[in-house]
Amino acid sequence: MIEQAALRLQQLRQAGIDVPDLDPPAAEAREPAPARHAPARETQVQPTTAQSVSRRVEVDLDALANTGIVTPNAPRSALADQFRVIKRPLIANALGKGAATLKHGNLIMVTSAIAGEGKTFTSVNLAMSIAAEMDHTVMLVDADVARPSVLRVLGLPAGPGLLDVLEGKVELSGALLRTSVDKLTILPSGTPHARATELLASDAMGALLDDMATRYPDRIIIFDSPPLLLTTESRVLATHMGQIVVVVHAGRTLQSDVQHALSTIESCPVRMMLLNRARADSAGAYSYGYGYGAYGYGYGHGRGDAEALAPEASAKPA
């Protein structure tokens, strides 16, 4: 076709017709069309699940105050002053300012010899009191995996926690509860597990506690632990602690039970005793009344009904 067109052009020019030169062949003159890209596919970024993000929960401080829990907005009381006395040596030891330098001194386990001595009440109040400090934060861990009660005392719903973290079902950040109390974080016990003792004795637990103890230098961690004479979990947990507070019910717990309980935690360098529900003296000391959910003497894996609130009690270092 190109040769015919050129021949025709020559014939026209020979006939005296002025004909402009032909344009270059279309195939040679045309620039290649830009490639047409397929529409960009939208990249779907999976949202971070609740299992990897700390949840924020509201704590009803008025309700807690009515049960005798020390709260930041409550007026000064005898019980609040008692916990100020109790926390001071614990904080000093946690910061390495005590009589000796402790490994994991900021890991503090609160336990008792038997059930119903007020260890959960002590744990919650101690955590609340430390949260009022200017220079420290506090994490309260419900390590009573057989009969957890911290969330019930605080009026918070159940959720994943310590055991779920150890099983790898959830990240630690996803199990933590950031409370409306400034500087206070909660780690629930998590889903009940038949091999809870083995989980607490695992390498994963040791690594978790090392991380918790060293991640934030200003954080003090309180563990509400099972009674020492009723389960084995607390004895396993005690091997990782820097300090242990043993709550003793004044006038009820047998001395032999206390001695037996102390013998199970000899590996811990610092063991303190706290006398709970001490009788008031003539000056009215230690007469502040409070209520807490008592366990009673039945104990085992699973959740039990809340017991009646104790009508009167007090706490002081023993």
Q: Kindly report, residue by residue over 38-63, the tens digit of the pLDDT.
A: 333 333 333 334 355 678 999 999 99
Q: Kindly state which CATH superfamily the domain 52-317 is placed in.
A: P-loop containing nucleotide triphosphate hydrolases (3.40.50.300)
CA angle 144, 112, 159 (to 5 degrees): 15
Q: Per-residue confidence at 232, pLDDT binned at 50, 70, 90?
A: confident
Among 3-7, 30-34, 164-168, which is the least confidently predicted range? 30-34
pLDDT attached to residue 61: 92
Region 257-282 average pLDDT? 84
Q: Per-residue confidence at 17, pLDDT binned at 50, 70, 90?
A: low
Q: Per-residue confidence at 190, pLDDT binned at 50, 70, 90?
A: very high
Among 96-100, 234-238, 252-256, 298-302, which is the least confidently predicted range? 298-302
- For the beta sheet containing 55-57, the strands, ordered from the edge strand earlier in sequence to the opposite edge, are 55-57, 177-179, 184-187, 137-142, 219-224, 107-112, 243-249, 270-276, 315-317
pTM for the whole thing?
Answer: 0.74
CB of 69 within 8 A of CB of 124? Answer: yes
pLDDT attached to residue 266: 87
Region 73-88 average pLDDT? 89
Beta-sheet pairing, 177-179 with 184-187: antiparallel
